[in-house]
Amino acid sequence: MVVLNASARLLLSAILCCSTVFASPTSKSSQNVIQLGRYSGTPAGAAYFLTNEPSGNYVVVAALKPDGTMTYTTAISNKGNGAHGNSTGPDPLFAQSTVKTSAASNVLAAVNAGSNTVSLFSINPKNPTDIQQIGQPVPTLGDFPISVAFNSKGTQACVLNAGGLTNGVNCFKIDKSLGLVPIKDTFRALNLSLANPPTGPANTLTQVLFNKDDSNLIVTVKGNAGPPVAPGFLAIWDVNADGSLSKNFTQVAPPVGGVLPFGTSVIPSSNALLVADPAIGAEIVDLSELSGGTSLSSSSKSSILNITKQGANCWTAYSSKTGNFYLADPPNARISEVSVDKNLKATVVRQYQRPPLSGTFDEDVVTLNGKDFLYILQANATEVGVMRLDGAGKARDIGNFNVAKPAQAAGLTINSVNLVGMTTFATRK
């Protein structure tokens, strides 16, 4: 076996890259980098989402001004294909965290649900619109990967395979020159009975994430609102010091009334999670009583949050500046701001209407010049909505930034039903 050192690999990939470009001066849709617009100067940050097109998946990059407004700059090939689950309309992967940055290690990971691979990019922290793929996309060792999580140190990434018979998780070490390197004893099956592509959103997987101190890896599994009602669960593995995972997972039931555990955020002040649930609104899942058993009904501190007149709350984001969570309800195009107190009691602080029929899907919060901003993928309208978070209960609309025109002008294929993901990065000096 020939083992290449890092510089030889770089040289080889440079040769492969450029010979491909010279050999096929083809259509835009096979280009590696598509220019969408120009931003002069240094942006305050960047936002990223995925075209998730079955014919070729691109990471769409936007520059963020200090006032939160956006300029689309580039689309960069994720060197794989997107996919649409067996369902109609937007929300093709039934997932949260399809693309994710790590500020700790200046990288971005993105899934190719149609190619069963995941890609890693380096981010230039001084200008985060500048991203470069590291190595090649790696196989996720399962079907229909939909979600990726970084640990807090940015040394490990885990991916969730959500279709077919090999559904479950698998983890990688972050190597700045090689990319994603598989970690032994992290392939863990869920063995759920899923089609490929899965039929959803009921009875599908949603997200993989680490808990607050990286001691657990968590997967949210949706149930079925019925009738008959069949609640989903959270699958929770222990993460060992070397990054490997416990053989078995603990199965945690949502509190009574919770059915479809969807997008999830860690509650920073406790060992607990805020889980969006389109059956009821949301639920708090307390992990402090986890004991490595095989199953656990919810702890007494877990509870449901009944968001009245909700359509389907599915995505979550957390702001460290306001201390509150922002839940996205696509059918109502509405954001619900939720606070969680020390006793894990959740309350809706305020609700905000986004443009009707825009569909509020994936979200992320970023701090630009000391202020938090919420970025919302309003996929149905091929736009991103922006809100400035001036304080608890004080979110202000900044505007909606449509990607359709720059994409069309540049020859980038997008469809509202395929767009997924939202992640951000704040520029560092």
Ligand X SMILES: *[C@@H]1O[C@H](CO)[C@@H](O)[C@H](O)[C@H]1NC(C)=O
Q: Assess 347 for contact with ligand X (CB under 6 A).
A: no
- Closer residue to ligand X in complex, CB, 30/306: 306
Using alpha carbons only, give the angle 267, 273, 275 rounded to the nearest 5 degrees: 120
SS3 call for 36: coil
Instruction: Classify each residue of 75-104 as buried b or exposed e, where b means 16 or more C-beta atoms within 10 Å of its C-beta.
Output: bbbbbbbbbbbebeebbbbbbbbbbbbbbe
Single out the residue of 154, 164, 257, 355 in contact with ligand X (rule: CB under 6 A). Answer: 257
Q: Assess 231 for contact with ligand X (CB under 6 A).
A: no
Cα torsion angle, 102, 108, 109, 113, sign: positive
Single out the residue of 331, 348, 349, 371 in contact with ligand X (rule: CB under 6 A). Answer: 331
Contacts of 342 (CB under 8 A, 6+ apart): 269, 270
Which residue shows structure tokens 């050999």?
23
Strand 250-252 and strand 295-296: the pairing is: parallel
Q: Residue 17 CB, nearest distance to ligand X (Å)?
A: 36
DSSP track, 315-329: EEEE-TTT--EEEEE
Q: Which of residues 303-322 bind ligand X (CB under 6 A)?
A: 306, 308
Of 344, 342, 340, which is closest to residue 319 (Cα–Cα)?
340
Q: Residue 7 CB, nearest distance to ligand X (Å)?
A: 41
Q: Residue 179 CB, nearest distance to ligand X (Å)?
A: 28
- Which residues of 382-428 form beta strands (DSSP E)? 383-389, 395-402, 420-426
Query: Is-contact 57 82, C-beta < 8 A?
Result: yes
Q: Residue 371 CB, nearest distance to ligand X (Å)?
A: 29
β-bridge mates for residue 171, sequence order? 158
Single out the residue of 32, 42, 86, 347 in contact with ligand X (rule: CB under 6 A). Answer: 86
- Closer residue to ligand X in complex, CB, 98/101: 98
262 to 281: interface string for ligand X, x by CB under 6 A: ------------------x-
Single out the residue of 19, 24, 42, 248 in contact with ligand X (rule: CB under 6 A). Answer: 248
- Closer residue to ligand X in complex, CB, 199/400: 199
Query: Is-contact 63 73, C-beta < 8 A?
Result: yes
Q: Assess 189 for contact with ligand X (CB under 6 A).
A: yes
Single out the residue of 88, 191, 291, 300 in contact with ligand X (rule: CB under 6 A). Answer: 191
Q: Which of residues 375-414 bind ligand X (CB under 6 A)?
A: 380
Q: Residue 166 CB, nearest distance to ligand X (Å)?
A: 9
Q: Assess 353 for contact with ligand X (CB under 6 A).
A: no
Residue 322 corresponds to which tokens in the numbers above?
């306001």
Q: Assess 195 for contact with ligand X (CB under 6 A).
A: yes
Q: How far apart are CA 51 and CA 31, in angstroms?
A: 14
Q: Assess 165 for contact with ligand X (CB under 6 A).
A: no
- Which residues of 299-357 form beta strands (DSSP E)? 303-306, 315-318, 325-329, 334-340, 346-353
Q: Residue 207 CB, nearest distance to ligand X (Å)?
A: 19
- Count of residues touching ligand X (by CB under 6 A): 16
- Applying CB under 6 A, the span of 27-35, 171-179, 191-199, 225-233 interacting with ligand X comes to 191-199
Query: Is-contact 102 48, C-beta < 8 A?
Result: no
Phi and psi at 360, nearest 5°, equal -95, 105
Q: Assess 199 for contact with ligand X (CB under 6 A).
A: yes
Q: How far apart are CA 97 and CA 210, in angstroms?
A: 12
- Closer residue to ligand X in complex, CB, 84/100: 84
- Closer residue to ligand X in complex, CB, 293/323: 293
- 380 backbone φψ class: left, alpha, beta (φ>0; ψ -120 to 50): alpha
Q: Residue 366 CB, nearest distance to ligand X (Å)?
A: 25
Residues that bind ligand X (CB under 6 A): 86, 189, 191, 195, 199, 247-248, 257, 280, 306, 308, 330-331, 357, 359, 380
